Amino acid sequence: MTAKTPLEPIASRYTGKDIVSLTQFDRPSVELLFDTITQLKKRVETERMLSLLKKHIVGLFFFEPSSRTFSSFSVAVKRLGGNTLEMQEAGKASSSVKGETLEDMGRVMENYLDAIIMRHPEVGSVEKVARAVSIPVLNAGDGSGEHPTQGLMDMFTMLEHRKSLDGIRVLISGDLLYGRTVHSLLFGLSLFSGVRVTLLSPERLRLPAMLIDTYRSRGITITEIHSESDIPADCDVWYWTRVQKERFDDLAEYERIKNAFILTPELVKQKGSDTLILMHPLPRVGEIEPAVDDDPRAVYFTRQVKNGMYTRMALLTMVLGAL
Ligand code: NCD
């Protein structure tokens, strides 16, 4: 059981690697992943169930609530013929209640499992476990840090829509301070050229200046706006996000800003192009009016969710060397 160095670059060799951050990826690695997602998607559409992971058991340890990500990982393993060990509410159900460290939990679990999928409220917690164990660890969200599998499925959804991520123009709205899906997505998009991103958020929830500098230095053209009237007319994607209530100490402050920017049919009509798609990592809690759901450009309950399962299937088979 020799612990590996986590945050190792993927460099197109997935077997045995952790998926902790989009900073581990380069463009060829992402493109290889996209090819695998496309292949698996085609296979699942005809065969429904595959057997690539029939010799594997994957553990899901979620210390924060989740419906979509948990289910999508669980179903991804099962569609690949694998088994799961599932712990939701792991903060209450695991020995962490007795004071066991996450690293020790990982050290025990790696004797039973082939890979660990983990979500936890603390930034850096998943990396800690990855450092302690030798089996692949996948980050299903670490606090307001990153959510790499969500970032990758979002990029794949954009690619399917537009055929190329080079030159893509994306509006990202909502909680850019705490929104981990946004942090991962921007690292991912920065691997492509000519990417232009407009950020729309309340002042309090702006993307941290350090991250803006990092993304800019990685080549993204970033413009910050604070009013819907400044949304550029030619976006390919609007990526809307929820204000992350669970990260606020002061709930009155959350209540004041939670509905700063609401996606309405009128806004889409005024500012949206015909070739736009509307995305959201979900759950939505009021920031997209239900009337928008019927717009054929809305993909947040359809393609985007489905691609999550295929993306996780691809990543699991790749890190487990099972393709
Ligand atoms: C996101 C998350 O948990 O970060 N949800 C998800 O994984 N689909 C976004 C969110 O909770 O707002």
The whole model's pTM is what? 0.96
Active site residue 119: yes
Residue 32: the pLDDT is 98
In 36-106 the beta strands, taken as DSSP E runs, fall at 57-62, 83-87
Ligand 1 contact via 183 beta carbon (within 6 Å) = no
Equal fold, 22-147+306-319 vs 148-304: yes
Q: Where are the beta strands (DSSP E) in 48-144?
A: 57-62, 83-87, 115-120, 137-142
CATH architecture of structural domain 22-147+306-319: 3-Layer(aba) Sandwich (3.40)
How many angstroms is it from 1 CA to the middle of ligand 1?
A: 33
Residue whose CB lies within 8 A of the most ligand 1 atoms, among 119, 181, 246, 279, for a mutation test? 181
Ligand 1 pocket, residue 284 CB under 6 Å: no
* Cα atoms found within 13 Å of the Cα of residue 271, Cβ hemisphere only: 16
For the question of residue 256 being annotated catalytic, the response is no
Fold of 148-304: Rossmann fold (3.40.50)
Distance 242 CA to ligand 1 centre (A): 8
pLDDT at 3: 65
Verify whether residue 226 is a known catalytic residue: no
Phi-psi region for residue 80, left (φ > 0), alpha (ψ -120 to 50) or beta? alpha
The question of whether 68 is a catalytic residue gets the answer yes
Note the Cα 211 to chain centre separation in Å: 17
Residue ranges in the chain modelled with pLDDT below 50 = none
Q: What CA–CA distance (Å, rounded) separates 164 from 323?
A: 25
Q: Choose among 258, 303, 311, 254: nearest CA to 279.
A: 303
Q: Ligand 1 centroid vs 283 CA: distance in angstroms? A: 7
Q: Is 56 a catalytic residue?
A: no
**All structural domains of the chain with their residue ranges:** 22-147+306-319, 148-304
Q: Residue 122 has what pLDDT?
A: 96
Query: Cis before residue 283, ω within 30 degrees of 0?
Result: yes
pLDDT at 98: 83
Cα gap 14→316, rounded to integer Å: 9
